[in-house]
Amino acid sequence: MSPHEGAIGSGASVAQTAERFEPRSARRIFVIGGIGLILCGMILGDIFAAFILHPNANRIGANLLAATRAVASHDPQAAGAAFQNIGGLLENRGTKVDAHSHMIGFGYIALLIALLQPYVAFSESAKRFLAKLFVFGAILLPVGVFLIHYVGMAGSPFGAIGWASVFGDFGGFLVWVVCLCELAGLAKYFGARPAVRASDKLLSDRGWAARALLSGGTMLVLIGFLHGSYYAGAHLFRYEARDSELLSAMTARAAAGDSAAALQAVADYGQLQGAKALNVAAHAHVIEFGVLAILLAFFQPYVFLSEKWRRIWVIVLLLGSLALPVFVLLELQWGMLAGGLADVGGFLVIVALFAMLVGIWRYAEKLDSSADVA
């Protein structure tokens, strides 16, 4: 077997996989667009975590402290101003998280729809149009959501929704419409009951890399679900009750002139928000990475790398996928050290994903050059 054959072959033959991955085909747009969206979303998340999340949390804490001091000095205007600042900071934080998570989520959906393309009973030009519409909507929503904080209500005729939000929602609507159309295409395919069903070797690859990603991904999702159930059962309601208690304590103690108790309540409130955010982040990330690993398992026949490097990137991806949520949880005990290690985990996932994208890109180029020669 030649090195190139070895690079391709973990189940699917070149001819069979090439048939579904032609230049400018819907599947290629979904695969490259999907991995691109996931990569951009992850890089945005890393930048957000490193440069915005922690400074933003500190500023929210400082404003909460200012509000509590305003209560102690019986200055309602200052308290209101502090909360206006907090509202802006929360909006800044919330929109960045939304842009990050929607970009990655849409990337996953794109990869999924790519897998289903042989079973969508539309013409290739209609499928290509839907693919482009999906990528457009999937970019429009996070960009719109990202801009909400900066555009605000400027020029908006609506009561509570600004233009950035309108465009973001429209992007989400386009993605939704494409999903509905793909569902209709699937129903049409299965309703028609053709004599010969489309077969897709992508779905039956049983190479080492695909199996490791499939098993590892399912285990990651299971770990995430078990952690989420534990968190919901043991902490969620308790944290919510504690949240209200601490807000009451801040205002009541400050109004009564007991500054020490009020400041302690502010500090405890900050700790509580940190614990909630870290638990939710660990839960969401381990499941997201599990889903990503399962999805990537299907696309291994398109990763045009040697078997050795394909295995290396699979291991790097799974290690990073486990390291990030584990160290995020450990931030409660280990502080910034664990935060740094979690960022390393995230970086490993990004590097492995980028390497697989390069492999897919090489595969696409190989197909295109073969087509040119033919």
Partner 1 sequence: MTFSRRLLIFGGLVLAVWGMGYGIWYAVFIEHQTLDGLGSALATGFMRAAENRMAESQAALTDAGSRSFVYVRQVDAHGHWIGLGLLLLILGIAFDQVGFGERTRTYLAMALFAGSIIFPLGVLLETWNRGAGPQAVAIIGSALVILGLLGTALGFARSNS
Q: Which of 25, 165, 279, 321 binds partner 1 (CB under 8 A)?
A: 165
Q: How far is the CB of 189 from partner 1 (least distance, A)?
A: 10
Is residue 254 part of the contact set for partner 1 (CB under 8 A)?
A: yes
Beta carbons within 8 Å of 263's beta carbon, 6+ residues apart: 65, 68
Which one, 341 or 349, has the nearer CB to partner 1? 349
Query: Rounded to an integer, what distance in angstroms lies between the CA atom of residue 172 and that of residue 167?
Result: 9
Least separation, in Å, of the C-beta of 282 and partner 1? 15
Stretch that binds partner 1, among 34-42, 122-130, 197-205, 319-327 (CB under 8 A): 197-205
Instruction: Give the interface segment with partner 1, choosing from 242-250, 320-328, 329-337, 354-362 (CB under 8 A).
Output: 242-250
Q: What is the Cα–Cα distance from 216 to 209, expressed in whole angstroms?
A: 10
CA–CA separation, 57 and 367 (whole Å): 49
Cα separation of 14 and 304, whole Å?
A: 11
Query: Is residue 37 close enough to count as binding partner 1 by CB under 8 A?
Result: no
Distance CA(285)–CA(239), nearest Å, equals 21
* Candidates 167-175, 306-314, 322-330, 351-359; binding stretch for partner 1 (CB under 8 A): 167-175
283 vs 338, beta carbon nearer partner 1: 283
Segment interacting with partner 1 (CB under 8 A) among 1-9, 26-34, 76-84, 346-354: 76-84
Under rule CB under 8 A, which residues in 96-135 are in contact with partner 1?
A: 105, 108-109, 112, 115-116
Of the candidate residues 50, 62, 133, 247, the single one contacting partner 1 (CB under 8 A): 247
Return d(Cα 37, Cα 68) in angstroms, integer. 42
| Residue 50 or 62 with smaller CB distance to partner 1 | 62
| 296 touching partner 1, by CB under 8 A | no
- Residue 110 CB, shortest distance to partner 1, in Å, is 11
Does 281 interact with partner 1 (rule: CB under 8 A)? Answer: no
Shortest CB 100 distance to partner 1, Å: 13
Sole binder of partner 1 in the list 13, 58, 248, 370 (CB under 8 A): 248
Q: How many residues bind partner 1 (CB under 8 A)?
A: 73
**CB-wise, 255 or 337, nearer to partner 1?**
255
Residue 284 CA, distance from chain mean position: 9
Q: Print the SS3 string covering 280-292.
A: HHHHHHHHHHHHH
- Distance, CA of 6 to CA of 18 (rounded, Å): 16
Q: Could you write out the DSSP letters of every residue in 64-91? A: HHHHHHHHHTT-HHHHHHHHHHHHHHHH
Q: Is residue 153 a contact partner of residue 235, using CB atoms and an 8 Å limit? A: no
Shortest CB 138 distance to partner 1, Å: 12
CA 200 from centroid of its chain's CA atoms: 27
d(CA 297, CA 314): 9
Does residue 173 bind partner 1 (CB under 8 A)?
yes
Q: Is 282 in the site for partner 1 (CB under 8 A)?
A: no
Q: Does residue number 198 form part of the binding site for partner 1 (CB under 8 A)? A: no
Q: Burial level of 158, CB count in 10 A (0-12/13-18/19+)?
A: exposed
Residues 333-372 that bind partner 1 (CB under 8 A): none
Indicate whether 273 belongs to the interface with partner 1 (CB under 8 A): no
70 binds partner 1 (CB under 8 A): yes
DSSP string computed for 257-275: T-HHHHHHHHHHHHHHHHH
C-beta of 103 vs 341, nearer to partner 1: 103
SS3 content of the chain, % helix, strand, coil (to 5): 85, 0, 15
**Residue 143 binds partner 1, judged by CB under 8 A:** no
Residue 87: alpha-carbon gap to chain centroid? 24
